[in-house]
Amino acid sequence: MSDSARKNFSDKVSDAVTPDSQKSGWDKATEGVSNQYDKAASKVQPEEEKGVFQKISDTISGKK
């Protein structure tokens, strides 16, 4: 699995800084699904295959 299959760092930051009140129902639903997928993917992707930003993101979010 490559980082291309993971949610990119800028999308994670954008999701985090955008208040829920400014997100549509669709945005909230797709964000939730993509976050769950990324969480699962972070657990099976070997550390040596992760890019720098993915390692940082996984460490910050506690997915490591």
- Per-residue pLDDT of 38-47, as tens digits, reads 989 888 989 8
Domain around 41: 9-61
> CA-to-CA distance for 47 and 34, rounded, in angstroms?
20
pTM of the model: 0.73
| Residue 1 domain flag | no
| Residue 30 domain flag | yes
Is 10 a residue whose pLDDT tops 60?
yes
Q: What is the mean pLDDT of the chain?
A: 88
| Residue 40 domain flag | yes
Is 64 a residue whose pLDDT tops 60?
no
- Whole-Å CA distances, 31 to 12, 34, 46, 49, 62: 9, 5, 24, 24, 18
User: How many domains in the chain?
Assistant: 1
| Residue 4 domain flag | no
Predicted confidence at residue 9, as pLDDT, reads: 86
- Tell me if 34 sits within 8 A of 5, measured CB to CB: no
Q: Which residues contact 52 (CB under 8 A, 6 or more apart)?
A: none
Mean pLDDT of 15-32: 95
